[in-house]
């Protein structure tokens, strides 16, 4: 097991009591045995609960409270998650698509519906625990990269016939990179925590790449790339990977499924799956754009999505990786200037460290951009 696998906190009585109390509200079988926190996401609070059934076997569940300062309307999030899980389950059943044997399911609350609200106002839901799998914060081999990209491509295919107007926009303008850029400049101008002096170099780096922020938005405005229902958070630890076979089993973290561009999903895979360095690595010499990982992502994504993407979308695969990496760098830096109010942080300067790895990766992508594009063209020719 490597540092890439989702960190599960050791048993803690307070966590156990919290998880047991929340689990009581959901219609799940058996009696509670233990609860642990899972700390790999930056947004929600996630716990694993273990129950014992009468026959002595164990069954595990995920209990998760939605971050209400990120998701202003958690009920809209739950409506989306209900619609998406229902749709995917019925399509997988009907078409037997290749997402493996396990899919994400919500367990009903005893009071009805698919969530509960605790006295402090937190909205909780309960999912089946995807067994036999791990999530990786850093991709270890090309099979994982290929499998993850194919799973997210299949996911886009599976939700392609969901009516976009039935899906709520859970975070408005989530990937509107121009607005993200402008928001960073506002945060820099206001500098509410006196942190600007420590990030002038990063601000300059981003300013020099301002034109990139508009690249996909301009293509979308011109009608060259369509709006689709997309996942919008295809970070590598949002897909469960079989611990033995490295097969991608199930896409998770459905809170940002909403209308978007297919390229946002591919781009975030490039951002999160090509570098061997952790997202918060301080030694920037470790940040790399590993060409074999990029190639595996392209192959996996096109194997699943190649039939429905248009030629302009395919031509922008490399750019999308650079754009999404810049965008997330912008978001980490904005949060650092704002005083670390959005992403969960675990040490001082955490968001700045994360920003720096993203900007370094942008540079690494720029160095290999021509080779990346050449690879995409080659694959495209081979498929025509
Ligand atoms: P966040 O929005 O905070 O990123 P996620 O939904 O991605 O929350 O969950 C955080 C982590 O919890 C995931 O990276 C994964 O390791 C684990 N996890 C979430 N849902 C499940 C599930 N159904 N089965 C197993 N592990 C899960
Ligand atoms: C967050 O929720 P998580 O940890 O899977 C964020 C993504 C960022 C990512 C950066 C709702 O993803 O947009 O790309 O951190 N999710 C939200 O690591 O903002
Ligand atoms: Mg996540």
Higher pLDDT, 287 or 91: 287
pLDDT of residue 97: 54
279 Cα nearest atom in ligand 2: 18
Does this model's pTM top 0.75? My answer is: yes
Question: Taking residues 340-351, what's their average pLDDT?
Answer: 98
Contacts of 76 (CB under 8 A, 6+ apart): 168, 170
Question: Taking residues 122-135, what's their average pLDDT?
Answer: 97
pLDDT of residue 3: 37
Angle at CA 312, nearest 5°, toward 306 and 318?
A: 80
pLDDT, tens only, 146-181: 999 999 999 999 999 998 888 999 999 999 999 999
44 Cα nearest atom in ligand 1: 3
pLDDT of residue 1: 33
Could you tell me the domains of the chain? 7-129 (3.30.200.20), 135-383 (3.90.1200.10)
Residue 341 pLDDT more than 90?
A: yes
Confidence of residue 383 (pLDDT cuts 50, 70, 90): confident
User: Which SS3 state, helix, strand or coil, does residue 160 take?
Assistant: coil
Contact 276, 233 (CB under 8 A): no
Ligand 2 pocket test target in 38, 148, 270, 343 with most atoms within 8 Å of CB: 343
User: Which SS3 state, helix, strand or coil, does residue 193 take?
Assistant: coil
Question: Taking residues 240-256, what's their average pLDDT?
Answer: 97
pLDDT of residue 96: 65
Which tokens sit at 126?
A: 């309960």
Which tokens sit at 133?
A: 């799998």
Higher pLDDT, 95 or 112: 112
Higher pLDDT, 316 or 13: 316
Contacts of 350 (CB under 8 A, 6+ apart): 280, 340, 343
Higher pLDDT, 371 or 90: 371
Contact 257, 232 (CB under 8 A): yes
Q: Which ligand has the minimum distance to the alpha carbon of residue 257? A: 2
Please tell me if the CB atom of residue 70 comes closer than 6 angstroms to any atom of ligand 2: yes
Question: Taking residues 258-284, what's their average pLDDT?
Answer: 98
Residue 11 pLDDT more than 90?
A: no
Q: Identify the residues whose C-beta falls under 6 Å from ligand 1.
A: 6, 38, 40-44, 46, 62, 104, 127, 129-130, 135, 237-238, 240, 252-253
DSSP 107: P
pLDDT, tens only, 39-90: 989 999 999 999 999 999 999 999 999 999 999 999 999 999 999 999 999 9
Ligand 1 pocket test target in 4, 62, 254 with most atoms within 8 Å of CB: 62
Residue 7 pLDDT more than 80?
A: no
Question: Taking residues 101-114, what's their average pLDDT?
Answer: 94
pLDDT of residue 99: 47
Contacts of 253 (CB under 8 A, 6+ apart): 41, 233, 235, 238
pLDDT of residue 9: 61
């Amino acid at each position: 097991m490597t540092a890439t696998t989702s960190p599960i906190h050791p048993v803690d009585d307070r966590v156990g009591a919290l998880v047991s109390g929340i689990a009581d509200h959901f219609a799940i079988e058996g009696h509670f045995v233990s609860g642990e926190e899972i700390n790999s996401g930056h947004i929600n609070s996630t716990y694993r609960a273990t129950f014992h059934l009468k026959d002595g076997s164990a069954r595990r569940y995920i209990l998760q409270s939605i971050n209400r300062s990120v998701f202003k309307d958690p009920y809209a999030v739950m409506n989306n998650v209900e619609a998406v899980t229902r749709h995917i389950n019925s399509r997988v059943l009907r078409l037997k698509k290749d997402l493996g044997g396990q899919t994400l399911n919500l367990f009903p609350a005893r009071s009805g519906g698919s969530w509960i609200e605790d006295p402090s106002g937190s909205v909780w839901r309960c999912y089946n625990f995807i067994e036999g799998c791990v999530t990786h914060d850093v991709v270890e081999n090309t099979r994982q990269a290929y499998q993850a990209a194919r799973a997210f491509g299949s996911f886009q295919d599976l939700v392609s016939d969901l009516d976009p107007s039935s899906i709520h926009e859970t975070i408005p303008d989530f990937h509107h990179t121009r607005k993200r850029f402008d928001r960073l400049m506002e945060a820099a101008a206001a500098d509410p925590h006196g942190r600007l002096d420590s990030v002038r170099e990063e601000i300059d780096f981003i300013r020099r790449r301002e034109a990139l922020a508009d690249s996909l938005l301009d293509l979308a405005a011109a009608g060259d790339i369509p709006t689709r229902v997309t996942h919008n958070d295809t970070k590598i630890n949002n897909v469960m990977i079989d611990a033995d076979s490295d097969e991608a089993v199930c896409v998770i973290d459905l809170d940002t499924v909403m209308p978007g561009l297919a390229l946002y999903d591919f781009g975030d895979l490039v951002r999160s799956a090509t570098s061997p360095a952790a997202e918060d690595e301080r030694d920037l010499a470790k940040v790399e754009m590993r060409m074999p990982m990029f190639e595996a992502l392209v192959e996996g994504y096109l194997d699943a999505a190649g039939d429905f993407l248009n030629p302009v979308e395919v031509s922008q695969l490399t750019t999308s990786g650079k754009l999404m990496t810049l965008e997330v760098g912008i978001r980490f830096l904005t949060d650092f200037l704002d005083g670390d109010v959005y992403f969960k942080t675990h040490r001082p300067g955490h968001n700045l460290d994360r920003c720096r790895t993203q900007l370094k990766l942008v540079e690494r992508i720029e160095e290999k951009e021509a080779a990346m594009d050449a690879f995409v063209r080659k694959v495209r020719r081979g498929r025509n």
